[in-house]
Amino acid sequence: MNNVVSGQLDVSEDNSVSWDATATLSYNRSMGLHNINLLAGMNATSGNGTAFGITYRGFPSGNLSAPGYAQSVYGNPSNSDSKSRLFGVLGTLNYSYNNIYLLDASVRIDGNSEFGFDHRYAPFYSGGVGLNLHNYEFFKALTTWVSLMKLRATYGMTGKVDFSPYEAQTIYQVLNNEWYKTGVGSTIMALGNPKLGWEKTYDFDIGVDADFFKGLIQLNASYYRKRTVALVNTVTLPASTGFTSYKDNIGEVFNTGFELQIRSTLLNTKDWLVSVYANMAHNKNRITKISDSMKEYNRRVQEKYKDYSVLNRGNSDLAQTYLQYVEGGSLTSIFGVKSLGINPVDGKEIFVRPDGSITYDWNATDQVVIGNEEPKVQGSFGVNVRWKQFTLYSSFLYECGGQRYNSTLISKVENAHVQGENVDRRVLTGRWQHIGDRTPFGALQTKLVATTRPTSRFVQNYNVLSMNSLTLGYDVNSVWLKRIHMGMLRIELSGNDLFRASTVRAERGLDYPYSRSFTAAVKMSF
Amino acid sequence: MKLYTILRNKWNVLLLACMALVVTTGCNDWLAVAPDNQINEEDMFKDGNGYRNTLNGIYIKLAGTSLYGRETSWGLVDVIGQMYNSKNWKSTATYFKAANYQWDDASVKTMISNIWGTAYNDIANCNNLINHVSVEDSLRFQSHTLEKNMIWGEALALRAFIHFDLMRLFAPSMAEDDKKAHLPYVDVYPSIATTYGTNTDFLKKVERDLTEARTLLATCDTTASHKVWMTTNCRMLAQGTTAEIPEDVFLAYRGFRMNYYAVTALLARVYLWQGDYEQAGKMAKEVIDATYDDSPLFDFAGSTDLAFNLKDYNSILFSLSSQTLTETYQSFISSDSDSPLVLDATTVFEDSKEDVRGTDMLGSLGGRKYSLKNTIAKSSIGSDMIPMIRLSEMYYIMAEYYANKQDWNNAANMLQTVRSARGVLQQTLTITSKEQFNTELLKEVHKEFVSEGQLYFYYKRLNIKPATKALFVFDKPENEDI
């Protein structure tokens, strides 16, 4: 009885029309040492898209497969539709005097149909000043070895909207695929948050760009302070609210940091090219204000650990750390209860409560910031060498000053299930067994293994150095190539992640084997 | 420099200024576009139609496969009520794991989370509708007060109905009540946090909403001019003379919506769950005794008709509707299925030759029997019906009401009324004890509610396990946590 009706034909059609109109007006003028550059413009774009699909089933034969031969239309035709419009006006001003004093200013107003009605327009602005020290006559006279020395400072505000209209207001979606007995239906698309506003970032940046000895040492350095207000984030919700997440302005975040870049070409001759580079960045992230929805989220995080009953004690989910949002904390904080380690007397862990008292009991409300995943400094460095036709590129990555929560240590050693699975040696050697044992892990548990909840005992400093890539290449002599009518022939050997050293010993095992890749390539062109 | 020369021409400057003016002033409207099938809240409730759409939407979601279109009727809930014979199911099948109460299995977990998530989402829809309808001017609706009360009443009743079934799944029965808070009764929209309530508090709110709904719906379904809408032809088929059936389809098909009698019957169900036999009996009796033109409003189809009227829509008080029901069910009664929904027909129907439910209403799949209820050909009468509350349940509630008074005779009579309607005339029941009554009641429920998701709740309420390792409470779903 199978295949009584055979054959299926899917027909789909997509249409989209979009246009983009831009009008700009610019004005450039040099008057003596003054140089003015003005620009005003507007921009409008519109996009309309429709898609339509239909499925036919049951055809007499492969040849007779036009929709007209179909026995029936299968399911409902699908139809989708999208519309968006954007409109913006902008103005910029650049001014310089004698190529020494620089001034920039810009304003931009954007309107977008995808934003809620109350937030349809967003203004952005920025302004900056600069000073080309090297163009001063006295500076030129003073130093011959400085070819560039520019000081700059900028301040600006940018806005960001990364949410959909239905996330900012209650929007109903028509359920056009299935009608009820008593008519067409519609349903709420998402928990719209009418209070949702633009995420705004105020950015202040000062820096210096310099070049010494005509390219021998190039240097860029900058320092920034960035304040993000009304940070937009997805907040998870208990499903009993009807939804699993919604968008909210979760508070204010302050980022400060610096960036430093140095490049140097040490040798540049016919046969040799040797250059080195290094950069370094530091960022500190601090939450300065949190919304009520985040306080509610924090409460739910603490609730998560509540059930430590005999039945639930073995639940390995309890070992997981969760970020909590606290003023003064960071978006990369690690939360847990401060620990003094394992008591040599009885093998139990001693916790420190926020008020300084000590206890054996782990309390969700005693959780504090016990680490931060954000490194103090991070960056990369490398050497590039060319000798005749041989080239060698290398790059290294480093970061230090951050922490990690070593949950593998908990699941594989601290909470190892000795009866049920294979365990490693530390389960035997690192555990408290007798009075006076000073050990990193508590006494061995058998039968029901109570999960170790987040504790500072498993926070480890995370410093890493890795060789990101190494490439060795050889270019075949072009004179020789010409004879066989080839443009280029290059042989390349490269490897990724060849070397890695870290202060956190990560057990990757068979689950996440460390991947080291090697590539050999021959590139040619004619 | 070229543009600069344009600027120097006064006319050009004027033209540009005008353009800028036109563009900036007309812009707000120009930006107000949205995809065709999305409507914001203000526009939605601008006229009465939006209210109708939102209410229909709630019913459509209820009839989806996560809820009564499958899992909470003939799917998961009947599987865990041991409605079907799961012995030959593949051990990898989700229903096999569910039949063995493996709540921690990933696929079972997903099913349970989906029930919770979809149900609470539908409740959120109810809440927003109630927010709007309760303060709306009745002139906004085409049928004025009648329609306002109807939409308001139904939204309240649906909120209570969905909550009550969630409670029957996620909280222990009253017999096993641990006085703990197991789930929240959500009656505000929007909400970003919910408060859990104990069974007692929860049931109070169910009762509150249902009582209020009943008062509102009485003005639609029990008045002299509209009661005719509740008759079987009008209620289930929207058939009748022009004078009888409403012109407007939204007012027709009362059997597919939370009507007054559905709410009354639901109250009976809720009171029974609480152990309030008096109130339960009173409500059930009102439904049984309801008449139109001196004949009963709800009656059973003749037993010989059941072979064609497989859903016995005559006795349905409230049904949902899904056009894809037959299709969804089909894959579970095919030989390819890893968990074919077959019944132990001989045991369940006690080898009765009389019982039409055990003969005409069953199909055969490789020697095994399965229910034909959900196999009605698409677009034939009844193919889309998902029975939620039946007249027979009212008789069973009456039976329990009498049994609670140890009036075994009347209790047996009530059970027998349904049996007779199903063709069982020769074999009669004699009941002498509570234990025997419960056994007989469970047997009847098993036969009557095949593939309708009620059996599990009977076992749970009576605290009798359908299988030795049976569990009566779902774990709190994962999507409730972070």
Residue range A476-520, pLDDT digits in tens: 888 888 888 888 899 999 998 888 889 988 766 666 667 788 999
Work out the minimum CA distance from B443 to partner chain A, whole angstroms: 33
Residues of A in contact with B39 (CB under 8 A): 171-172, 174, 186
Residues of A in contact with B128 (CB under 8 A): 170, 188
Cα Dmax for chain A: 98
Best mutation target among A186, A243, A246 (most B Cβ atoms within 10 Å) is A186
Q: How far apart (Å, rounded) are the C-alpha atoms in residues A21 and A36?
A: 26
pLDDT by residue (tens digit) across A237-262?
A: 999 999 999 998 889 999 999 999 99
Residues of B in contact with A182 (CB under 8 A): 52, 56, 59, 249-250, 252-253, 256-257
- pLDDT attached to residue A157: 93
Residue B117's SS3 state is: helix
Does residue A451 carry a pLDDT above 50?
yes
Work out the minimum CA distance from B316 to partner chain A, whole angstroms: 15
Instruction: Indicate the residue of A82, A166, A188 with minimum beta-carbon distance to B125.
Output: A188
Minimum CA–CA partner of A167 in chain B? B40
User: In A118-164, which residue ranges form alpha helices assigned H by DSSP?
Assistant: 137-142
Work out the minimum CA distance from A12 to partner chain B, whole angstroms: 19
Work out the minimum CA distance from B241 to partner chain A, whole angstroms: 19
Taking CB atoms and an 8 Å cut-off, how many pairs form between chains A and B?
A: 201
Average of per-residue pLDDT across A45-59 = 89
The counts of H helices and E strands in chain B are: 19, 9
Residue A412's SS3 state is: helix
- pLDDT attached to residue B3: 46
Minimum CA–CA partner of B249 in chain A? A182
Q: How far apart (Å, rounded) are the C-alpha atoms in residues B412 and B398?
A: 10
- pLDDT attached to residue A430: 85
Tokens standing for B305? 């008709």
Q: Which residue has the higher pLDDT, B251 or A7?
A: B251
* Residue B454 contacts A, CB cutoff 8 Å: no
CA of A472: how far to CAs of A383, A493, A515, B105, in Å? 12, 5, 20, 51
CA of A260: how far to CAs of A151, A212, A445, in Å? 14, 16, 50
Residues of B in contact with A170 (CB under 8 A): 40-41, 128, 190
Contacting residues for A203 by C-beta, under 8 A, at least 6 apart:
A154, A155, A156, A157, A158, A224, A225, A226
Does residue A391 carry a pLDDT above 90?
yes
Contact (CB<8Å) A172/B27:
no
- Report the range of poorest mean pLDDT among A52-66, A124-138, A243-257, B112-126: A52-66
Tokens standing for A200? 């705004």
Contacting residues for A110 by C-beta, under 8 A, at least 6 apart:
A86, A87, A88, A121, A122, A123, A124
Minimum CA–CA partner of A191 in chain B? B190
Per-residue pLDDT of chain B (482 residues; tens, 9 = 90+): 444 444 555 555 555 555 555 555 556 677 777 777 788 888 899 989 999 999 999 999 999 999 999 999 999 999 999 999 999 999 999 999 999 999 989 999 999 999 999 999 999 999 999 999 999 999 999 999 999 999 999 999 999 999 999 999 999 999 999 999 999 999 999 998 899 999 999 999 999 999 999 999 999 999 988 999 999 999 999 998 888 888 889 999 999 999 999 999 999 999 999 999 999 999 999 999 999 999 999 999 999 999 999 999 999 999 999 999 999 999 999 988 999 999 999 899 988 889 999 999 999 988 899 999 999 998 899 999 999 999 999 999 999 999 999 999 999 999 999 999 999 998 889 999 999 999 999 999 999 999 999 999 999 999 999 999 999 999 989 888 87
SS3 content of chain A, % helix, strand, coil (to 5): 10, 55, 30
Q: Which residue has the higher pLDDT, A364 or B123?
A: B123
B122: left (phi over 0), alpha (psi -120 to 50) or beta: alpha
* Residue A39 contacts B, CB cutoff 8 Å: no
Minimum CA–CA partner of A323 in chain B? B482
Token pair 């299988």: residue: B467
Question: What is the distance in angstroms between the CA of the first residue and the CA of the last residue of chain B?
Answer: 61
Q: In this predicted complex, what is the ipTM?
A: 0.88
* Residue A45 contacts B, CB cutoff 8 Å: no
* Residue A3 contacts B, CB cutoff 8 Å: no
Residue A337's SS3 state is: strand
For residue A95, list its beta bridge partners: A36, A103
Q: How far apart (Å, rounded) are the C-alpha atoms in residues A26 and A36?
A: 10
- Report the range of poorest mean pLDDT among A2-6, A120-124, A464-468: A2-6
Q: Give yes or no for a contact between A84 and A113, defined as CB atoms under 8 angstroms apart.
A: yes
Contact (CB<8Å) A25/B41:
no
pLDDT averaged over chain A?
89
Instruction: Indicate the residue of B39, B250, B384 with minimum beta-carbon distance to A171.
Output: B39
